[in-house]
Structure 1
Amino acid sequence: MPRYSPDHKAATRRRMIETAGRRFKSDGIDGSGIATLVADAGLTNGAFYGHFASKDDLVASVVAQQLADQVAVVNSLPAGLASVEQYLREYLSPAHRDDLAGGCPSAALLDEIGRCDVTVREAYTKGADAMIAAIARHLDDGDPERTNARAIGLFTLLVGSLQTARAVTDPELSDRILEAAYANAVTLATAR
């Protein structure tokens, strides 16, 4: 007889993914050891291996879940330019810039994901592709190729701009980066 119900095991796994996602985004993947990750989730090292084969397995699960959550937000937006502009404003806000742990996984982890094993990079590829498709649904202008190119451009503009705004030490420059990125993102989103 299992010690815990399947629901308990699934809830524990979800908690581990959620807390690890916050830790990875605030401290980096390499800066987050298994002991810290399991402590954040209120687990023991032994419990970790009951849910994940390795740290890379956890990282891939975190990346997949974080991007799936982001896709769900974009997919839930009502169609129309107003909701796109609101999303862009929130994404390119000082509050999002300052919230590493709760913010965009791409902006926080992309440099490390590029150096991860293929399992993590495949999870990211699937998530990024789904995010681009979600953005494209809001930008659809009847030309699938152009719509997809605009969605890729918007996705990369958002991520790169947020990374840059986080990296600079001058608060005024950081704010100007966010403002310019918003203006350029709106231009890209409304281009026909």
Structure 2
Amino acid sequence: MVRYTKEHKQETRQRIIATAGRRIKRDGIDGSGVATLMKDAGLTNGAFYAHFSSKDDLVDTAIANELETLHMKVVEQAAPGAVGLEQIVRWYLSPGHRDDRDDGCPNAALLDEIARSGDTTRQAYTDGVLVLIDGLAARMTPEDPLASRVKALSLLGLMAGTLQLSRALTDRQLSDDLLEQGLVNALALVDTERRT
């Protein structure tokens, strides 16, 4: 029997989580079986239970990881204050983000399924989304981020809904127009927050 180091096991686990995150954003939670998720990671089904107790355990972990990655790669990398908030909004409501479902935001890809999932999945999502909205709120009102938490959540909802709808449309021009109007609406919300 081959023995692997703890580092190898952790690297393998991270590979499974990352590939599962991309797959479930593309095919949905229900459309992503364990066999497919393990094949994506270059592993056999038998290796699955060395890392996760169930598919739900992997889904919860993958959703949390996707939200953490979004926070680290987009929110944390944006400039502070209103300038950074605008950077985030412009990236989120861009055609490039719309067209990159695999590496894009899990909100627009999975909200409907997460809402129908069990408590642990919904809690993993809630925990991750709170980090995101706190990053947005800190840019809305740096002196008192908690005061803008609900407004930041509303902004995320506006952006995720707009992105989700733009991905569903078959008319490319209509989809582009929707993203553009969503951007105008989101920036107006951001601007309103700046003035209050």
Q: Same fold (TM over 0.5)?
A: yes
- Stretches of structure 2 lacking an aligned partner (at least 5 in a row): none
Q: CA deviation at 1:66?
A: 0.6
Q: CA deviation at 1:81?
A: 2.5
- Matched residue type, 1:21: G
Note the alpha carbon deviations across 1:88-146, whole angstroms, 9 max, x for none: 11111111111111111011011111111111111001011111111100101656565
Percent identity of paired positions between Structure 1 and Structure 2: 51
Contact 2:35–2:45 (Cα < 8 Å) also in 1: yes
How many residue pairs end up in the alignment?
Answer: 192
Which residue does 2:5 correspond to in 1?
A: 5
Spell out structure 1 runs of 4+ moving beyond 4 A.
141-146
Q: Does the residue aligned with 1:76 lie in a helix, a strand or coil?
A: coil
Which residue does 1:167 correspond to in 2?
A: 168
Contact 1:150–1:189 (Cα < 8 Å) also in 2: no
User: Do residues 130 (structure 1) and 153 (structure 2) align?
Assistant: no
Q: Does the residue aligned with 1:124 lie in a helix, a strand or coil?
A: helix
Which residue does 1:80 correspond to in 2?
A: 81
- Matched residue type, 2:82: L
Calculate the TM-score normalised by the size of structure 1: 0.94
Contact 1:141–1:147 (Cα < 8 Å) also in 2: no
Q: Distance in 2 between matches of 1:50 and 1:145?
A: 40
Calculate the TM-score normalised by the size of structure 2: 0.92
Which residue does 2:18 correspond to in 1?
A: 18
Which residue does 2:69 correspond to in 1?
A: 69
Q: Distance in 1 between matches of 2:88 and 2:3?
A: 44
Note the alpha carbon deviations across 1:52-92, whole angstroms, 9 max, x for none: 00000000000101111112231232213233222211111
Which residue does 1:49 correspond to in 2?
A: 49
Contact 1:17–1:61 (Cα < 8 Å) also in 2: yes
- The alignment's C-alpha RMSD in Å is 1.6
